[in-house]
Amino acid sequence: MIPISAVFALGLCLFCIGLLGVLIRKNLIIMLMSLELLLNGVNVILAGLGYHLRSPRGSIFAVFVIIVAVSEAAVGFALVLSYFRQKKTYDPDEINDLKG
Amino acid sequence: MPAVIAFAVFIFFAVLAVVSAVLVILQKNVMHSVLYLAFTVLAVAGVFFCLEAEYLGAIQLLVYGGGIVVLYIFVIIIANLKETVAEKRGLIPRLFIIAVPALLLLEAAAVLLGNKGAFPAGRGGRPGFVPLAEMLLSTYLVPFEVASILLLAVLIGAIIVARRKLLHDPD
């Protein structure tokens, strides 16, 4: 039996590493990758709770999280490609077209 | 499988996942980052198998390992990310950036340690595929269908956003 606290620790570590990556990096692709890490951490906690509570709901919620993560990755890449085609830059600090 | 061995395998995959996740955000080369991301994804799939979520592990391997990582590699090849942005920041922003995840981690750990008895383990055997499938297609049928509509919208939206606009092409 795997203790639930170990699962929480792993999920929190993955989440915080992903959050750190989103905040600290200035490369749009690596920022998107860190978002995947963040969602993976959430999935680990959901799966661990399903295992701990003996319920299939953990897996079901994690499947929905995966679906949303895939959608986010696809739309994010489309936006990055389209933006790069227009502006020829990947610097997130330069992306301020909507700034009033 | 004895409980000790299961826990040892879990710890192995967990350490693998955390180490490669740290390496993802530390790489200078984006391609190396993607390879470490693939490593992290596989390790997390191993964690799912340890947690008896076989369906989730299989989905993780198929969707992440087979789909998203390849999508990342294609985007990096297409976009040709040779030039990198200088990652220079002042001391104060850097401190804030590191403090936010660290404080979040500490706060969550404090809350969880403070409520140690708040998660009583469920009873019964392991939930296999059959209860999962029945619950997914009965109780959670509406979110399931909404997810399919979301995927269709994403398919169309991504094509529309990412396509090249050829103004002089009659097609």
Summarize pLDDT for A43-59 with one digit per residue, the tens: 999 999 999 888 889 99
pLDDT tens for A4-47 read 888 999 999 999 999 999 988 888 888 899 999 999 999 999 99
Note the pLDDT of residue A64. Answer: 95
Q: Is there a contact between B75 and A43 if contact means CB atoms under 8 Å apart?
A: no
A-chain residue closest to B81, CA distance: A90
B3: left (phi over 0), alpha (psi -120 to 50) or beta: alpha
* Residue B119, token pair as written in the block: 């998660």
CA–CA distances in Å: residue B120 to residues B10, B83, B126: 21, 52, 16
Q: Which residue of A6, A16, A51 is in closest CB contact with B101? A: A16
> B24-43 pLDDT, tens per residue?
999 888 889 999 999 999 99
Q: CB–CB of A14 and B44 under 8 A? A: yes
Query: In this complex, do A54 and B85 lie within 8 Å of one another by their Cβ atoms?
Result: no
pTM, two decimal places: 0.88
Contact B53 A7 (CB under 8 A): no
Q: What is the mean pLDDT of chain B?
A: 86
Per-residue model confidence (pLDDT) at position B1: 65
Task: Express each pLDDT in B45-104 by its tens digit.
Answer: 999 999 989 999 999 999 998 889 999 998 888 877 665 666 677 788 888 888 888 999
Residues B91, A52: Cα–Cα separation, whole Å: 43
| A48 touches B: beta carbon within 8 Å | yes
